[in-house]
Structure 1
Amino acid sequence: MVFDTTYKNEDYNQQSLLLVGKSFRFIERIKQGGIGSSRLIIKSKSPKLDLGKLKFGEIDYGNIELRPRGIIVHYTSKLERFSWIIPYYRLVIYNSQFFSIHANGNCIQFLKNKNYSTNKKFIDKMIAIKNEYLNLSYYDS
């Protein structure tokens, strides 16, 4: 589900609690070494995720927030901020020429540049948490 979170949005708050749970507590955040990625440059988005009104040559940025039962991908388009809520059981990650996140027939692709390199440890942690939550011990991350 994608929500416009430029301003306070009660529907977003309710759905995020329902689908991915409350944010980690402060102590858990410290133990995990942080629950958010640094910013990533977006290469492309699915049409359903591309809610910006007009298209120009601007660069869109996004970041990923970990939650107990899923992730939230926050991204900006012009001055608007959007949040895409993805439970772990719907999350699919591809790491090829681009780093991409897929769920519910939608996808967002991030460039593999210097920002990706700094986020590699975070992405590995996200995959490990997903595998632990879904009890996917057969997957070697």
Structure 2
Amino acid sequence: MLVNVSYNNKEITRKVDEQVGKPFTLKERWALNGIGSPKLIITETSVDLRNLLILDNNRNTCNVELRPKGIIVRFRSLLETFALVIPYYKLSLYKGEASIYSIYRDHYYIKVESDTKAVQKFFKKIIAYKADNAPTYIEDL
């Protein structure tokens, strides 16, 4: 689900919380050693996302937030903030050559580049958390 999260809209917040869960509490964030990624440089995207990113001339960057039932990929275009909401059961992560990570949900995808150890550690955290907390049966959804 791709949504504009620039403004405080209760309906959008409810839909996001329904798909990926409410944000972690401060105690849980501390236990997980943080839930946000460093700044990631976007190298390639699907058509829908690319149409948003080409509207301005800024460098295309994003960050990823870990949630109990999924992740949120946030990026800016013009003066708006957009979020790609991805529940774990629809999330596919791939690591390509030259430290390029691909994040997929249905027909949306974002390829990001970063060669720091912190990014590699964060993506390992996402995979581990997905393995521990993703629903195993359709009834769990």
TM-score (norm 2): 0.85
Measure how far apart 1:112 and its partner are: 3.2
Q: What corresponds to 1:44 in structure 2?
A: 44
Q: Which amino acid aligns with 1:124?
A: K
Structure 2 CA distance for aligned equivalents of residues 53 and 110 of structure 1: 14
Verify the 8 A CA contact 1:6 1:80 in the aligned structure 2: yes
Change (3 A) 1:56 1:67: closer
* Structure 2 residue aligned with 1:28: 28
Instruction: Give 1:54 shift.
Output: 4.7
User: What is the CA–CA distance in structure 2 between the aligned matches of 1:2 and 1:48, rounded to whole Å?
Assistant: 9
Task: Provide the secondary structure at the position in 2 that maps to 1:15.
Answer: helix
Q: Does the 8 Å contact 2:62/2:73 carry over to 1?
A: yes
- Paired with 2:27 and 2:86, the residues of 1 have a C-alpha distance of 24
Q: CA deviation at 1:90?
A: 0.3
Unaligned runs of 5+ in 1: 137-141
Give the alignment partner of residue 108 of structure 1, picking from 104, 107, 110: 110
Q: Which whole-Å CA distance do the structure 1 matches of 2:130 and 2:37 have between them?
A: 15
Distance (Å, rounded) in 2 between the aligned partners of 1:99 and 1:49: 16
Q: CA deviation at 1:28?
A: 0.5
126 and 46 in structure 1: CA distance in 2 versus 1, 3 angstrom threshold: same
User: What root-mean-square deviation, in Å, do the aligned CA atoms of Structure 1 and Structure 2 show?
Assistant: 1.9
Partner secondary structure for residue 83 of structure 2: strand
Aligned residues: 134
TM superposition shift of 1:123 = 0.9
Q: Percent sequence identity over matched residues?
A: 34
Larger helix proportion of the pair: 2
- CA offsets 1:38-65 (integer angstroms, 9 cap, x no match): 1100012111223527545531110000
**8 A contact 1:52–1:80 mirrored in 2:** no
Distance 1:51 1:74 in 2: 15
Aligned counterparts of 1:14 and 1:134: Cα–Cα separation in 2: 20
In structure 1, what is the equivalent of residue 58 of structure 2? 58
